[in-house]
Amino acid sequence: MSWPKLLQVDPGREFMGAVNQLLTKHNVEIRRGRVDIHRDQAIVERFNRTLAERLFGHQYGVEMRRPDDKRSTEWVTRLPAVISAFNKEVTRLTGQKPAETIKKKTVSAKPSTPYLRPVGANEKKLPSGVRVRYLYQPIELEGGPRRATDPIWSLKVYEIEKIMIKLDAPVLYYLLDGPKRWFVREELLVVPPYTQLPPAI
């Protein structure tokens, strides 16, 4: 198998580096979710739930009728048929069948979450360089379950480095020297100018 000339890489270079260079060349920005943060994987997790509902409901019915206590592997047999059915169903966000959309170069989709406020170009944006604190993920501060006394906003203050505006979607903010993820406005707490922060130790 030979790679297209555009994707050929020098020996010793990682393929992922070549992909990143290609995306940068075409001004494509990728939002990567982190595996350990459930919310970052929301779309995949929702699909997994729908898939499990279709597969395991039938499997549990088979297991209820079995005279022994052995688990059924009925889902393995049913998986190709269920995936084929998924690909022929019109999805809510695109209004098209996945079997059709995978053949297209671009696909427009509705936002997965309805917003009751202006979003996209009409949304009031925070200026670049403003200082903010961000909302912690449930296990982010100390790596375990959140305690009632834990702060919910980041202990450090950050500046907004980049802003991403997309049609019919909330404005996304990227923090300078902050976590490697994007934030919506509700996840940022603006620190007013001249706010006196605790002294550095």
pLDDT tens, residue by residue, 46-94: 888 888 888 887 777 777 777 777 777 778 888 899 899 989 999 888 8
- Interior/surface letters 171-194, b for 16+ CB within 10 angstroms, e for the rest: bbbbbeebbebbbbbebbeebeee
Task: List, in order, residues 6 or more apart from 28 with CB less than 8 Å away.
Answer: none
- Smallest CA-to-CA distance from 172 within 91, 106, 111, 95 is with 111
- Which span out of 39-48, 158-167, 191-200 was modeled with the highest average pLDDT? 158-167
Is residue 9 pLDDT above 50, yes or no?
Answer: no
The overall average pLDDT reported for the chain is 78
Q: Do residues 97 and 87 touch, judged by C-beta distance below 8 A?
A: yes
Residue ranges per domain, the chain?
Answer: 12-110, 120-190
In angstroms, the CA 187 to CA 132 distance is: 10
- Smallest CA-to-CA distance from 93 within 109, 105, 108, 106 is with 109
Is residue 6 pLDDT above 60, yes or no?
Answer: no
The CATH number of 120-190, from 2.30.30, 1.10.10, 3.30.1760, 3.10.620, is 2.30.30
- Which pTM was predicted? 0.54
Q: Give the residue ranges of DSSP H helices in the chain.
A: 15-25, 42-65, 74-87, 98-101
Question: What tokens appear for 168 in the block?
Answer: 């019919």
Q: Work out the pLDDT band at 4, boundaries 50, 70, 90.
A: very low
- Looking at the chain, the whole-number percentage of residues with pLDDT higher than 90 is 13
Q: Do residues 7 and 20 touch, judged by C-beta distance below 8 A?
A: no
| pLDDT at res. 40 | 64
Is residue 173 pLDDT above 80, yes or no?
Answer: yes
Q: Work out the pLDDT band at 131, boundaries 50, 70, 90.
A: very high
What are the CA-CA distances from residue 87 to residues 43, 81, 82, 139, 157 (Å)? 16, 10, 9, 36, 45
Question: What tokens appear for 145 in the block?
Answer: 């379950």
